[in-house]
Amino acid sequence: MAGNKAGKRPKLTREGFGGQVAYFFNRAIANIRQNILINLLTIGTISLAILIFSLLLLLYVNLEKVTDKWSERVQVTAYFEGELPPRELKVLIGRIQSLEGTGKITYISKSEALKRFRERLRGQDALLEEVSADILPASLEIQLKKEFRGDDALSYYTAALRRVPGISEIQYGEDWVQRFNSFMDFMRLLGLFVGGFLVLAVVFIVANTIKITIYSRKDELELLGLVGATRLFIKIPFLIEGILQGAAGAILAIALLFGLYYGFIHNAGSLTNFNPLENGIVFLPLTYMAYVFIGGILLGFLGSLASLKKFINV
């Protein structure tokens, strides 16, 4: 039988690179349009997941701000005998300043100490009459640099401080500092746990949602393989779809989060006696928003990639 093939086949151009990219994007958009409900479901799931996550992130950002303020109160008070003449005082301050970890130093003279003492005991004047400036020692209040406020660094610092000549006693509210520090450690650990667990849950849920979308189109995947599509060709539109879903989900989540934040700062003041703005409650910084956005895209992309693995082994 005659094998006269392909003689009259018309000349046809192949799509260029730009054309291919456009093809894949159009395919992804068409897929989204065609399966609009299931896409909305996926975007909803992604955005809910990201919303919960970014809500935690917002809490963390604000808690970190508050604790930064609190930890400024971690300070060491150094006492010395009598009242030093200005020159000796200067030398002493210089020595302390040269210790690693020293922040701001405030000098509290005997009279300043008495003034503070009186303020604290206001209304109990009978007690105060006995007290003269001589009883109270002068002192230096030393604030520590941020990285020296932890337990270990603190004991290391105080040991060094004790060796400075001229200092008779030091005090640093050990108990309070320790409890504060272990509270913060606990909070960070808890945050890490909850956050880590959340990330896993989110990835799991999103991957499953995407798996459902892809499952609903497994006939299409199969057919593309049968007409000779390469794996990459089959996957790319789905991956683009995942990226678009992730991006949409992230934007939606950030918008919702901002809505919550906005509602909170405008209503909390009237409902409770906590004024969010005065207390420095802030929204997510731009860099964090960018992370959330990129995270959403990655989520959509990886979710699609992982789900596709199950269906494409052409």
Choice from 7, 85, 86, 123 touching another protein (CB under 8 A): 7
Q: Is residue 1 close enough to count as binding another protein by CB under 8 A?
A: yes
Give whole-number Cα distances, 198 to 105, 184, 188, 250, in Å.
43, 20, 15, 16
Give yes or no for residue 18 binding another protein (CB under 8 A): no
d(CA 72, CA 62) in angstroms, rounded, equals: 16
Q: How many CB atoms lie within 10 A of CB 21?
A: 13
CB 46 within 8 A of CB 300: yes
Which one of residues 2, 126, 271, 286 is an interface residue with another protein (CB under 8 A)?
2
Cβ proximity to another protein, 3 vs 165, nearer residue:
3
* Near another protein in 229-258, by CB under 8 A: 229-231, 233
Indicate whether 313 belongs to the interface with another protein (CB under 8 A): yes
Q: Min. distance of Cβ 230 from another protein in angstroms?
A: 5
Residues 170-229, interacting with another protein (CB under 8 A) = 219-220, 222-229
User: Does residue 37 interact with another protein by CB under 8 A?
Assistant: no
Q: Is 314 in the site for another protein (CB under 8 A)?
A: yes
Task: Report whether 43 contacts 106 (CB < 8 A).
Answer: no
State in angstroms the smallest separation of the CB of 219 from another protein: 7
Pick from 10, 85, 123, 165 the residue near another protein by CB under 8 A: 10
9 binding another protein? (CB under 8 A): yes
Rounded to the nearest 5 degrees, what angle is found at the Cα of 268, between the Cα atoms of 267 and 271?
A: 90
Q: How far is the CB of 37 from another protein (least distance, A)?
A: 13
Residue 65's contacts (CB-CB under 8 Å, 6 or more residues apart) are 280, 282
Give the shortest CB-304-to-another protein separation in angstroms.
19
The reply on whether position 23 binds another protein by CB under 8 A is yes
Stretch that binds another protein, among 18-26, 103-111, 177-185, 281-289 (CB under 8 A): 18-26
Instruction: Identify which range of 7-15, 53-61, 133-141, 158-166 contacts another protein by CB under 8 A.
Output: 7-15
Distances (CA, A) of 301 to 120, 135, 212, 232, 256: 61, 71, 15, 14, 22
Phi-psi region of 116 (alpha: psi -120 to 50; beta: other; left: phi over 0): alpha
Q: Does 287 engage in binding with another protein (CB under 8 A)?
A: no
In whole angstroms, what is the distance from residue 49 CA to residue 261 CA? Answer: 17
Asked whether position 123 contacts another protein by CB under 8 A, the answer is no
State the minimum distance, in angstroms, from the CB of residue 30 to another protein. 9
DSSP 203-267: HHHHHHHHHHHHHTTHHHHHHHHHTT--HHHHHHHHHHHHHHHHHHHHHHHHHHHHHHHHHHHHH
Query: Which span sits near another protein by CB under 8 A: 12-20, 41-49, 192-200, 295-303?
Result: 12-20
* Cβ 213 vs Cβ 303: under 8 Å: no
Nearer to another protein, 34 or 208 (CB): 34
> Does 13 help bind another protein (rule: CB under 8 A)?
yes
Q: Report whether 181 contacts 150 (CB < 8 A).
A: yes
Q: How far is the CB of 257 from another protein (least distance, A)?
A: 35
Q: Which residues lie near another protein (CB under 8 A)?
A: 1-10, 12-15, 19-20, 23, 34-35, 219-220, 222-231, 233, 313-314
